[in-house]
Copies of this chain bind each other. A is one copy, B any other.
Amino acid sequence: MSSDPLVIFTPSGKRGRFEVGTPILTAARQLGVDLDSVCGGRGICSKCQVTPSVGAFPKHGVTVSADALSNWNAVEQRYKDKRGLIDGRRLGCQATVQGDVVIDVPPESQVHRQVVRKRAEARDIVMNPSTRLYYVEVEEPDMHQPLGDLERLIEALHDQWELEGVQADFHILSELQSALRKGQWKITVAVHAGDKINPPRIMHIWPGYYEGTIYGLAVDLGSTTIAAHLCDLQSGEVVASSGIMNPQIRFGEDLMSRVSYGMMNKGGDVEMTTAVREGMNALFVQIASEAEIDKALIMDAVFVCNPVMHHLFLGIDPFELGQAPFALATSSALSLRASELELNIHPAARTYILPCIAGHVGADAAAVALSEAPDKSDELMLVVDVGTNAEILLGNKEKVLACSSPTGPAFEGAQISSGQRAAPGAIERVEIDVVTKEPRFQIIGSDLWSDEDGFDLAVAATGITGICGSGIIEVIAEMRMAGLLDASGLVGSAAQTGSARCVPDDRTHAYLLWDGSADGGPVITVTNGDVRAIQMAKAALYSGARLLMDKFGAETVDKVVLAGAFGAHISAKHAMVLGMIPDCPLDKVTSAGNAAGTGARIALLNTKARREIEATVRKIKKVETAVEARFQEHFVNASAIPNAVEPFPILAQTVTLPDVSFNTGGEGSGGGRRRRRRG
């Protein structure tokens, strides 16, 4: 026995001795090496490709000779001729052990391969999808052993794949007999692995060996947009991404107006449910056509959304979410059939909706928690998903707290005089020279700054149309840094600031960012009202974070993650100048992009992550801002725009803020000097 050849697998390092003639796939299975196979070692699927090495491996203590594996065989040659095989690769089910050997399992041959995420600091996704393909050979019927065809298929899945307790979806019954006979008792089945409630179930069958793949959808159902990633459930690859406007917008721009629509119009909730499902189906048609695949191959879909969208999508009247105590109909994760949600993908497709944390903190926040994993962090981590409502998570390995804070739509460009959605033509980056008080900016759709050559040409197509959310944050922070704005949020006059761009505006002043009137374009100013709106929004956001810090017992946080489409575009420096987020070293502020969407993708590709986030959500402590006195207190204190930024790394950039404050002289505004500082 000890003279049997030694087989060492990389990268796992697993090793064992096997008799001469043992197929590599068999050795891998016996050692628990993660080597894929759909056909069960029959030389059909080629998923078990491996790369043997030759030469001395002092690290492993073996020398591999050129004849350590059996000769290249006809099955491998046929596969190579038909589909191609990278030089040096062998099929693990064909190549057998002849001597000591080191076998590398390339990532694409691993079942639990890692899907690499773009962000360096983020965890990779380990593939563990809910639905997998299995090729089996089924025993022919025998009238003396009168088991049904289905029962023999289930036996085959047990014997050939060690699958226990498999059931079949109802529709399989009417398809099975002809498929088995057409495939001459060979069949490929898609099996949903089940979960803590449901047993594994056969969802689809193909006669013989099915060469294709199957797909899943990760859907981020937002109030404004619905975005989806279409993923290959075998490779984990995103094969298409697409988005549409949420058709519910016609019932109200924000969530509360939709809740009201349901209250004011009999059947309004049903109308909205129909609308969002129809929109979803339109999106699925679009994404499938983009990827050039059959929609019926989509067998799994994961949804994340805020509580109101959650209820409307599920067909639940969101009435209760519009009033205290904000009772959710259900807070648990849901496993449903696509047909229950009237989705036109595979008729038996499974769907999974992440759990809600509370009446204001939805499955989208749960998805952010799954993606950013504050519960796995050693450092104290603040995760802020900025939107009309900001969802805020604060925690580390020890515990995680969550709240939502009503920031309103200002960060999305609404309620801002020159505000607009993030779209080509919108100002998204602003700098103001502290000496000249003159601005320069970038618009969405061009990489040039407004004072660079070619800018006029670059913006000719779109024009300069307004300011989007990230632009308004930058311009206000820059105005503060340039001494154009006092701590209370008042815009100074031309006389006070020495800048002709500070123009009178009603009884206050506004900063003229861009005057396009000569060409019939807009005059874009930042008014005192704009500053007020942003002050309210940022105070809400900041107060939520501070409240969680109080509850956690923390004075500072170690890192901040800005999530959400908007979060991805915010400049950390400006957000901190503005006082949107608590103090934190600037290099510890990162943007996670659409973390909710990423969480959906993780849950789609790895069913274990579903159990994980369900457990995490049960442990997350919910803090209700609406009834916390300290939230109000923080809010009042946080409306000022900080004038002392010494602790921040931005000082390294030698920005010195003048401690200005202006008196508008208006009757209604009190007139006195306002000085509010954060406590």
Contact = CB atoms under 8 A, between A and B. Distances in A.
Contacts of A314: 173-174
A329 interface: yes
Copies of this chain held together in the complex: 2
Contacts of A331: 146-148, 150-151
A197 interface: yes
A170 interface: yes
Contact of A317 (B177, B336, B358): B177
A624 interface: yes
Contacts of A146: 326, 328, 331, 357-359, 361, 622, 624
A7 B222 CA distance: 62
A647 interface: no
A340 interface: yes
A141 interface: yes
B177 A141 contact: no
Interface in A167-199: 167-168, 170, 173-174, 176-178, 197, 199
Nearest to A170: B340
Contacts of A340: 170
A320 interface: yes
B173 A315 contact: yes
A676 B619 CA distance: 84
Interface in A321-369: 324-332, 336, 340, 356-359, 361
Contact of A173 (B140, B330, B357): B330
A268 to B, nearest CB: 14
A306 to B, nearest CB: 14
A25 to B, nearest CB: 32
Pick the most buried of A140, A147, A317, A357: most chain B CB atoms within 10 A of its CB: A147
Contact of A199 (B148, B197, B320): B197
B325 A143 contact: yes
Interface residues of A, number: 48
A59 interface: no
Contacts of A149: 320, 327-330
A162 interface: no
B328 A143 contact: no
Nearest to A169: B340
A325 B144 CA distance: 9
A142 interface: yes
A319 interface: yes
A177 B143 contact: no
Given A315-B174, A317-B177, A151 B199 contact: no
A165 B197 CA distance: 9
A328 B144 contact: no
Pick the most buried of A144, A357, A359: most chain B CB atoms within 10 A of its CB: A144
A615 interface: no
B197 A148 contact: no
A331 B141 CA distance: 12
B317 A174 contact: yes
A307 to B, nearest CB: 10
Given A622-B146, A626-B143, A177 B358 contact: no
Nearest to A147: B331
B622 A144 contact: yes
A329 B148 contact: yes
A461 interface: no
A31 interface: no
A148 to B, nearest CB: 4
Contacts of A176: 329-330
A86 interface: no
A151 B330 CA distance: 6
A183 to B, nearest CB: 15
10 nearest interchain CB pairs? A146-B358, A148-B331, A141-B327, A148-B328, A143-B325, A148-B330, A150-B330, A143-B624, A141-B325, A174-B315
17 contacts: A141-B320, A143-B326, A144-B622, A146-B328, A146-B358, A148-B330, A149-B320, A149-B329, A149-B330, A150-B331, A151-B330, A173-B314, A173-B315, A173-B316, A177-B317, A177-B327, A178-B317
Given A146-B624, A148-B327, A177-B329, 4 more contacts: A141-B325, A146-B328, A149-B327, A173-B314
